A and B are shown apart, each in its own frame.
Chain A
Amino acid sequence: MNPFSVFFLCGLTFLYSMGASADSTVDRSRFHLFNPTPKEAMRGLNTDRPDKTESAYSVDAGHFQIETDLLVLSRNSESGATTENLGIMVSNLKLGLTDSIDFQAVITPYTSSSVGTDRASGFGDTTLRLKVNLFGNNGGDLAFALMPFIILPTNSGGMGHKFYEGGLIAPLSVGLPGDWDMGTMFQYNRMKNDSDDNFHDEYVTSITFSHDIVGDLAGYVEFWNSISSEADAKWTATADFGLTYRITPVIQLDAGVNIGVTDSADDLNPFLGFSALY
């Protein structure tokens, strides 16, 4: 038996068994942007943040979700120079197009960067993404999605270059025994070189484990790393920790810190954010 088909079959079997009970009266394929999923049939809030591993679940058709870094800071000391970055209201705006596809726009209204006494600030780049859930959206222990994305060079104030970049993300969510959840992700980026106008490949992989702590409070631990094909690129890896708190079933607060475990990663990257589904 195929190992991957085992994953797929587990998800599908559970999906169909769920279909026999909860969803037997709901034909989810008829929901789309202009025929929104009714409240009683919604999956509820499921976020890509606060960890860096993307979720495999899409936003309900015809509904809107916002996921925001109210404040995100980072500090990196490398080769004698210290870089500090600040982002405010970095937001992922999501819109459910169909029951299994959502559209996402990640915007950075304000970002600043300082290296020693040099400082720059302005609008950041904008990332447009499409999340296509392939299975597991509506139940089961496994869910998988593909997320193509493009980065538009909308930055101002010297906060970046003027080249288009893009890539593909493949997130897998797994329900583990003991109510643990695992997420893992493979991401391919086609990015512009720092030193010239050519492009290079980047490969990002991550794995995260999360669990409820008490009541509506949950926590996660994550390992994230990135490898670049650019000449002299270093290995970037972080160990990430955070908490989420559900204020209501559709509003969530989160806070956490990403800690660099290699020289080229930010030493410390604390953040505070929230998510809401309408």
Chain B
Amino acid sequence: MGPFEEHLRDAIRINRERRTLYSSLTGGKSLSVSNILILSEQLSIPFAIFTDLCSIPFRNQGIRIVELEFISMDRIPPFSEKLPFPAPSLNAFVESRPGELILKLLKQGWRNGWSGLADALRIELHHLETNPGFHLMLKHILESMLRIAVLAPTHQRKCLEARMRLTTKPLSGYLFLSHLLAIPFATWLDRKTAPILASGVPILYQDVPAIPESEPGYI
């Protein structure tokens, strides 16, 4: 099993285990969110297999594309019944505008390349901090995109160093694009999750791993 597929299958297993726990905490209100999350992960499996296959020639040469982009689900916190901070007020929830965000990122990518994208993503992630406790799936996607943007130049450099005829540029681009296309879904899921988070139940908060920007030993 490839790294992306493994990441998804671990996520499906954990979300299934936690589905009933969240449901009992919310009187069944969280079931639809859990089911949609699991379904979206299941639907992503064919794309994960495709992505993993594309990464094999690089991983065989020690270029850890895809492997490093997807963080182990072992890093998620243990299950807890409550948020570790006061529940945010639902009135404070500000809806994201996925179309604007996608355009902004495309513009940055076009003008300033991976480094420009990384800067734009850092700014967006900083903005999300002004609405703490919400937008957890969008945060997860943006963190993942930031990691892709930070790792991409290193993968490319290692390709050159290994004198490979292939380049990781298209695969990094594909990974980034597939995340970009997931932004509308992420914002929608965050809207669905907001009332549950406002009730203090830490759904999503403790179900996705925090994604560090880079991999120190690799870069």
Please list the residues of chain A having a beta carbon within 8 angstroms of any beta carbon in chain B. 1-7, 10, 172, 184, 186, 188, 201, 203, 205, 207, 209, 221, 223, 225, 227-229, 233, 235, 237, 239, 261-262
Contacts and interface: CB of A to CB of B under 8 A. Distances in A.
Contact of A186 (B36, B97, B102, B173): B102
A176 B177 CA distance: 15
B93 to A, nearest CB: 13
Interface of B: 36, 39-40, 43, 46-47, 50, 95, 97-99, 102, 106, 109-114, 116-117, 149, 152, 156, 169-170, 172-173, 176-178, 180-182, 184-185, 187-189
Contacts of B187: 227
Given A2-B112, A184-B181, A7 B43 contact: no
B99 A3 contact: no
Contacts of B99: 188, 201, 203
A227 B182 CA distance: 10
Interface of chain B, main secondary structure? helix
B185 A227 contact: yes
Given A4-B106, A239-B43, A207 B181 contact: yes
B117 A261 contact: no
A178 to B, nearest CB: 11
B184 A2 contact: no
Contact of B184 (A209, A227, A262): A227
Given A2-B109, A184-B181, A186-B181, A261 B173 contact: no
A261 B39 CA distance: 8
10 contacts: A4-B110, A10-B170, A186-B181, A201-B97, A207-B47, A225-B185, A227-B185, A227-B187, A235-B40, A237-B39
Contacts of B98: 203, 227
B113 A1 contact: yes
A16 B43 CA distance: 39
Q: Which of A5, A10, A203 has the most CB of B within 10 A?
A: A203
Nearest to B102: A186
Contact of A235 (B112, B149, B188): B188
B114 A235 contact: no
Given A207-B181, A229-B95, A261-B39, A3 B172 contact: yes
B112 A227 contact: no
A40 to B, nearest CB: 33
A205 B98 CA distance: 12
B181 A4 contact: no
Contacts of B189: 235
A6 B169 contact: yes
B175 to A, nearest CB: 10
Contacts of A229: 95, 188
A242 B17 CA distance: 36
A143 to B, nearest CB: 14
Contacts of B114: 1-3
A207 B50 CA distance: 13
A186 B106 CA distance: 12
B58 to A, nearest CB: 14
Given A3-B109, A3-B169, A262-B39, 6 more contacts: A5-B110, A201-B97, A203-B99, A205-B182, A207-B178, A225-B185
B172 A237 contact: no
A237 B184 CA distance: 13
Nearest to B112: A2
A10 B169 CA distance: 11
B184 A203 contact: yes
B184 A205 contact: yes
Contacts of A186: 102, 180-181
A109 to B, nearest CB: 32
A237 B188 contact: no
Contact of B173 (A3, A188, A203, A239): A3
Contact of B36 (A1, A228, A235): A235
Contacts of A225: 185
Q: Which 9 A/B pairs are nearest by Cβ-Cβ distance?
A: A203-B184, A2-B113, A205-B181, A227-B188, A227-B184, A3-B173, A4-B109, A6-B169, A188-B99
